[in-house]
Amino acid sequence: MKRVEHTFPLPFVTINKNYKIQTYSKEAISLIGEHENLLEIMDEASVMKVKDWVTPEILKASVEVHLQAMDDEEDLLTADLYVKWNNDMYAEIILMLKDEKLTKVTKTLNQLRSRLNDTNFELLEEKEKLEEAVEQNNQLSAPFIILNEETALIPLFGDVSEEKMYSIETQLLQKSQEGEVDTLLFDFTAVGDLQRSGVSVLLDVMTSLSYMGAEITFIGVQPAQAKQLKEMSLPQEIKFIGSLKTAIQKFC
117-172 per-position pLDDT tens digit: 777 667 777 767 666 655 555 555 678 888 888 888 988 888 888 888 888 888 88
pTM: 0.47
CATH topology of domain 2-99: Beta-Lactamase (3.30.450)
Give the mean model confidence (pLDDT) for residues 36-62.
Answer: 92
Q: To the nearest whole percent, how much of the chain has pLDDT over 70?
A: 81
What is the C-alpha separation between 130 and 124, in angstroms, rounded? 10
Q: What is the pLDDT of residue 213?
A: 83
CA atoms within 13 A on the CB side of 30: 10
Q: Is the pLDDT of residue 90 over 70?
A: yes
Contact call for residues 144 and 172 (beta carbons, < 8 A): yes
| Confidence at residue 136, expressed as pLDDT on a 0 to 100 scale | 59
Highest mean pLDDT among 81-95, 152-166, 222-236: 81-95
Q: Which of 20-24, 70-74, 187-191, 236-240 has the lowest mean pLDDT?
A: 70-74
Q: Could you tell me the pLDDT band of residue 214, with boundaries at 50, 70 and 90? A: confident
- Residue 185 has a pLDDT of 92
pLDDT at 138: 54
Calculate helix-pair angle for 223-231, 196-211, nearest 10 degrees: 70
Number of neighbouring beta carbons within 10 Å of residue 85:
19
Q: Where in the chain are the domains?
A: 2-99, 139-251
For residues 46 and 212, what is the distance between their CA atoms, to the nearest angstrom? 63
Distance (Å, whole) CA 89 – CA 14:
10
Distance of CA 53 to CAs 19, 24, 61, 75, Å?
Answer: 12, 20, 7, 24
Q: Is the pLDDT of residue 194 over 60?
A: yes
Facing residues of 155 across strands? 187
Query: What CATH class does 139-251 carry?
Result: alpha beta
Instruction: Provide the pLDDT for residue 3.
Output: 56
